[in-house]
Amino acid sequence: MKLLIIEDNEQNLYLEQFLLEAKGHAVASARDGATGITMAQQHDYDAILLDIQMPDMDGYEVARRMTALPDWKRVPIIAVTSLAMSGDKEKVLAAGCSGYLEKPIDPDRFVAQVESIATEKR
Residues 13-66: tens digit of each pLDDT: 999 999 999 999 999 999 999 999 999 999 999 999 999 999 899 999 999 999
Range of the domain at 70: 2-120
Partners of 102 in the beta sheet?
81
* pLDDT score recorded for residue 84: 66
The whole-number pLDDT of residue 73 equals 79
Count of structural domains within the chain: 1
Among 117, 82, 122, 116, which residue's Cα sits nearest to residue 102?
A: 82
What's the length of the chain? Answer: 122
What CATH number has the domain bearing residue 105?
3.40.50.2300
pLDDT of residue 85: 67
pLDDT in tens, 74-84: 899 999 988 76
